[in-house]
Structure 1
Amino acid sequence: MTDLSLLQIILANLALLAGACLQGVAGYGIGTLAAPLLFLINPALVPAPLVLNATVLTVFMLLRNRAALQVREVRFAIGGGVGGTVLAWITLMLISPKGFELAFGVLILIGVALSVGGIRPALNARNSILAGAASTYMGTITAVGGPPIAMIYQNQKGPLVRANMSAFFLVASFFSLAALVAAGYLGQQELQLFAVTFPGVLTGFWLSGKLVNRMPFDGLRPLILAIAAVAGTAALARGLMSL
């Protein structure tokens, strides 16, 4: 396993705690908040260890919100996710470690731009397919797959958002894990990193149950996106300096 200091493990768990709590309240956010921070703590923590953590979190989310699930709406996004997975696998096979840092930074900033862009696409089959493809592509490479799929659910009610997005993320996570294994980005080291960081996710999910009707997500959103933008810019700068 990549050597992580005790401080790095603690910081990683805190980042995942905050991200899991956010996702438990809003339906998405563990990637947007935690992925850039984890990359700065230690690049080995993304994408595979975070995708593994997010997969388990979505199972918990889906069980909690299963009563609001509408499978017919999710199937189009899942279909788009197949195409996004293939493109992500091709990308991972072609880029070098230095190229990965660049791609990570660029995709993080694209995710932030999508979140603040004010675009409000309708929730229909075509947009669901496109959002599913973009979300799975970004989620496989960076573990930040929330912004594209969140765009088409931004006008829907909380329980529906949390249930449908959890169902999509669960299937998309398995697609992403398959692509990561095939590209050589998921092995014993990543499983060990997942094991030492999962307590943060478990604690964050538990905390979200206490805060789901109290936490002002809209008020926190600018701060979350600012953190992601700064960390994404830092990742991009690291990639450029390593060329």
Structure 2
Amino acid sequence: MTDLSLLQILLANLALLAGACLQGVAGYGIGTLAAPLLFLISPMLIPAPLVLNAVVLTILMLLRNRGALQVREVRFAIGGGVGGMILAGITLMLISPTGFELAFGILILIGVLLSAGGLRPALNARNSILAGAASTYMGTITAVGGPPIALIYQNEKGPLVRANMSAFFLVASFFSIAALLVSGYLGQRELQLFAVTFPGVLIGFWLSGKLVNRMPFDGLRPVILGIAAIAGVAALVRGLMSL
């Protein structure tokens, strides 16, 4: 069926629960937190099963925060996402499994550096296009698309962040699914893995509704980035050892 043990499925659900809860509170985080953990559990869980789970989560979040949505601001990021989708599809068609591990590790570490680097770009059309392209590219290959788009929303208020980023992630996730289908990274096995792991997302989303005004996201950032950095290094080491 899924080629995973019961323990691996349980751990994957717990990782997705934590990531979905974080995204429900902060507006992003399921990729940054869950993708590195899922990679350590089994590389088969990345990227397609996590991207499919992200679609479910972003739909739920968009429904919850729809009152704060400002479509005009999101359209530029979505436009940039088209370019990111095309580049990601080409990349996936060209790289080998070893190359994928190397790309995963490098892009995860880039995401960590973006999150920890202290950059504060303005929320404008040019930066939205660039962030949308980078986020969709990274999200398609690693399922970690949050850091680039989060940079331009870091000074905005919570409801706006959660609504606008959910709208972007929903469209970007469909871009990613299209690229994964064309490049052969989304098939029956990935759908089965999604089916056994999405309960964790549903529970995490429900839990985020209870914690949305209580969870100290800033205090959790070093832990999340540390986990991501460890997984990025692990992917690089695995890829280099396979050369």
TM-score range, shorter chain: over 0.9
Paired residue type of 1:73: E
- Paired residues, number: 243
1:114 paired residue number: 114
1:48 paired residue number: 48
Match runs of 1:172-183 below 5 Å: 172-183=172-183
Residues 136, 176 of structure 1: 8 Å contact kept = yes
Please give the alpha-carbon distance, in whole angstroms, between the structure 1 residues aligned to 2:101 and 2:151.
26
Residues 78, 129 of structure 2: 8 Å contact kept = yes
How far residue 3 of structure 1 moved from its aligned partner, in angstroms, is 1.1
2:80 is aligned with 1:77 = no
Residues 47, 141 of structure 2: 8 Å contact kept = yes
Post-superposition CA distance 1:103-131 (Å, at most 9, x none): 00000000000000000000000000000
Please give the alpha-carbon distance, in whole angstroms, between the structure 1 residues aligned to 2:235 and 2:137.
18
Post-superposition CA distance 1:80-123 (Å, at most 9, x none): 00000000000000000110000000000000000000000000
Q: Which runs of 4+ in 1 moved over 4 A?
A: none
Please give the alpha-carbon distance, in whole angstroms, between the structure 2 residues aligned to 1:106 and 1:37.
16
1:132 paired residue number: 132
Please give the alpha-carbon distance, in whole angstroms, between the structure 2 residues aligned to 1:168 and 1:3.
32
Post-superposition CA distance 1:125-161 (Å, at most 9, x none): 0000000000000000000000000000000000000
Residues 105, 236 of structure 1: 8 Å contact kept = yes
- SS of 2:56's partner is helix
- SS of 1:177's partner is helix
Match runs of 1:1-243 below 5 Å: 1-243=1-243
Please give the alpha-carbon distance, in whole angstroms, between the structure 2 residues aligned to 1:35 and 1:169.
15
Please give the alpha-carbon distance, in whole angstroms, between the structure 1 residues aligned to 2:175 and 2:135.
11
- SS of 1:185's partner is coil
Residues 79, 129 of structure 2: 8 Å contact kept = yes
Paired residue type of 2:103: A
How far residue 2 of structure 1 moved from its aligned partner, in angstroms, is 4.0
Please give the alpha-carbon distance, in whole angstroms, between the structure 2 residues aligned to 1:114 and 1:54.
21
Please give the alpha-carbon distance, in whole angstroms, between the structure 2 residues aligned to 1:60 and 1:78.
19
Residues 85, 133 of structure 1: 8 Å contact kept = yes
Please give the alpha-carbon distance, in whole angstroms, between the structure 1 residues aligned to 2:38 and 2:198.
13
Residues 79, 129 of structure 1: 8 Å contact kept = yes
TM, length-normalised to structure 2: 0.99
Paired residue type of 2:220: L
- SS of 1:190's partner is helix
Residues 2, 44 of structure 1: 8 Å contact kept = no
Paired residue type of 1:170: L
How far residue 231 of structure 1 moved from its aligned partner, in angstroms, is 1.1
Please give the alpha-carbon distance, in whole angstroms, between the structure 2 residues aligned to 1:118 and 1:88.
26
Please give the alpha-carbon distance, in whole angstroms, between the structure 1 residues aligned to 2:96 and 2:36.
19
- SS of 2:8's partner is helix
Segments of structure 1 that go 5 or more residues without pairing to the other structure are none
Post-superposition CA distance 1:1-44 (Å, at most 9, x none): 44101110010000000000000000000000000110111100
